[in-house]
Amino acid sequence: MLNFILLMAPAGQGGEAGNPLLSFLPFILIIVIMYFLMIRPQAKKQKERQKMLDALKKGDNVVTTGGIHGKVVGFTDDGKTVIIKVDDNVKLNVERSYINVVMPVGGKKD
């Protein structure tokens, strides 16, 4: 019985190293938690935004990052610039990446 109790006692500090994987386990857990809480949602949001910009077409009502509301009337040849009609005689060339929100034709945001 005494031998059993002595075997369950923790090992001494006498130069015996533990498993190195266990010493890195907290760092590995922190990285995994950061991935699922920060990196993965951001990547998903970025993919959705890119899908929205790729689906942009003539007639869509948009809001730019600067707060300008307008209607898409065309695209340039390279496809990087969007032509937005702001008023009757006012058209602006805006980079596609500066489109913040695409609103449905009814004018209400999804």
Instruction: Report the alpha-carbon distance of residue 76 to residue 109 in Å, rounded.
Output: 26
Domain boundaries of the chain, sorted by first residue: 25-55, 57-103
CA nearest to 59, candidates 95, 109, 107, 100: 107
The answer for 19, left when phi > 0, alpha when psi is -120 to 50, beta otherwise, is beta
Cα maximum dimension of the chain: 96
pTM for this predicted structure = 0.65
Please report, in tens digits, the pLDDT of each residue of the chain (110 residues total): 555 555 555 655 554 557 777 888 889 999 999 998 999 999 999 999 999 999 999 999 999 999 999 999 999 988 899 999 999 999 999 999 999 999 877 645 54
Token pair listed for 96 = 């596609």
Architecture (CATH level 2) of domain 57-103: Roll (2.30)
Instruction: Report the alpha-carbon distance of residue 55 to residue 37 in Å, rounded.
Output: 28
